[in-house]
Chain A
Amino acid sequence: NAGVTQTPKFQVLKTGQSMTLQCAQDMNHEYMSWYRQDPGMGLRLIHYSVGAGITDQGEVPNGYNVSRSTTEDFPLRLLSAAPSQTSVYFCASRGARNIQYFGAGTRLSVL
């Protein structure tokens, strides 16, 4: 049982480059979300989705886009990377009893 799978694990970008962080879950969960983790800031919600075709903004959405074409996948897109987006990104899906299952994270550096 894979759970929540994130790729890549590490990525280095130059300012202005674009990229997509991939997230897939095999638990048939409707709710999925993206967080960023920064020292002293905890986990902050970027975007979330309550089901295929439905997405909404979280606490820190600027500079990020998402889409949800299938239940399984919830990619996060950085259109023009900035140094302020250097962070560790976590994807999560929520199952029964409100338990959120997190992926292992993507460590992103923007130079």
Chain B
Amino acid sequence: QQQVKQSPQSLIVQKGGISIINCAYENTAFDYFPWYQQFPGKGPALLIAIRPDVSEKKEGRFTISFNKSAKQFSLHIMDSQPGDSATYFCAARARGGGAQKLVFGQGTRLTINP
């Protein structure tokens, strides 16, 4: 059972447009929500992350919007560029002791057309 559900599976956006990827979760123990970016042949790399005490976090052209009541969070890429073409994964981690394992969404393959 997927603890973090991500959509869409693939997305095509024109250069300069806004790319939006959505994730939803059920476990209210999650307290850390990162997004990872993966280029072909490479491992994922942390892009941006948010904690549920804020509703939005922005780093350059990348913004996470977080809706705690709906248990949803999304990644917005403004002014999308061909270099943003990659696979994006949302993830979540539960608070508390122990190993605090990350669970990942299914991934979204983003293509930015020039």
Chain A contacts to B: CB under 8 angstroms: 4, 31, 33, 35, 40-45, 48, 50, 56, 58-59, 90, 92, 98-105
Which residues of chain A have C-beta atoms less than 8 A from B9's C-beta?
40
In the complex, whether B102 has a CB less than 8 A from a CB of chain A is yes
User: Looking at the complex, which one of A50, A99, A105 makes contact with B99 (CB distance below 8 Å)?
Assistant: A50
CB proximity to A under 8 Å, residues B1-50:
2, 4, 6, 9, 32, 34, 36, 41-46, 49
Binding site for A on B (CB under 8 A): 2, 4, 6, 9, 32, 34, 36, 41-46, 49, 89, 93, 99-107
CA distance A106 to B44 in the complex (A): 13
Q: How far is the CB of A102 from chain B (nearest CB, A)?
A: 3
**CB-nearest residue of chain B to A97:** B49
Contact A99 B46, beta carbon cutoff 8 Å: yes
The reply to whether A104 and B43 form a contact with Cβ atoms under 8 Å apart is: yes
Q: Kindly list chain A residues whose C-beta atoms are within 8 Å of the C-beta of B4.
A: 42
A4 to B46, CA, bound (A): 14
Evaluate whether A104 and B42 lie within 8 angstroms (CB atoms) in the complex, with A45-B101, A48-B99, A98-B32 already known.
yes
A48 and B101 within 8 A (CB): yes
Q: A31-B99, A40-B106 are in contact. Are A98 and B93 (CB under 8 A)?
A: yes
Query: 14 A-B Cβ contacts within 8 A?
Result: A31-B99, A42-B2, A42-B107, A43-B104, A43-B107, A44-B104, A92-B43, A100-B34, A100-B46, A101-B45, A102-B43, A102-B44, A104-B42, A105-B42
Complexed CA–CA distance, A98 and B31 (Å): 12
Chain A residues, Cβ within 8 Å of B101: 33, 45, 48, 58
6 shortest interchain CB distances as A-B pairs:
A102-B43, A42-B104, A43-B104, A42-B106, A102-B44, A42-B107
Write the chain B residue with the least CB distance to A49.
B99
A43 and B41 within 8 A (CB): no
Kindly provide the distance from the CB of B100 to the nearest chain A CB, expressed in whole angstroms: 8
